[in-house]
Amino acid sequence: MAGVIAGIARHGRAKGPMETIDRAEVSLDGGIAGDHRGVRKPGGYGRRQVTLIERIDWDAAMAEVARDLPWWERRANLLVEGFDLPQVPGTRLRIGADVMLEVTRDTEPCHRMEALAPGLFAALSPDWRGGACSRVLAGGTIVVGDIIRIETS
């Protein structure tokens, strides 16, 4: 089972604007280069270094609230297509040839989602629809169009 990275986004500071990019460096200590959430704090576990959301889940949430907002408004780092994100912490995901992420938990929606569209918080809440958080296990370069798959070995 494999999918594709359909989008990459980052934000340089808390509550700062999201920037969409076509290519990103990913590192153990910094997550996606230029994204403030990816920096692993001293003694921290990096449970939220990189966040991922499925396009199908974002589209379903948009349909539920009768809106058409771009996916990066979710404030996720990676948009995945054709891939069902595993809902099991500890699952390893390979992106491209080098990058390896470990799913740590679901990405719970925050109050900012409700400010975007009434009902969006509830639309993103069930069944990990808000996405998955992950930590970086192996860094490298990712680009839009890279394959994402569950690492089995």
pTM: 0.94
Work out the average pLDDT over 22-42: 92
d(Cα 118, Cα 31) in Å, to the nearest integer?
Answer: 31
Cross-strand bridge partners of residue 134:
50, 103
Res 110: pLDDT: 82
Bridging pattern class, strands 78-81 and 50-54: parallel
For the stretch 96-136, pLDDT in tens is: 999 999 999 999 888 889 989 999 999 999 999 999 999 99
Can you give the pLDDT at residue 137? 96
pLDDT at residue 89 is higher than 70: yes
What's the CATH superfamily of 2-150? PK beta-barrel domain-like (2.40.33.20)
- CA dist 24 and 8 (Å) reads 8
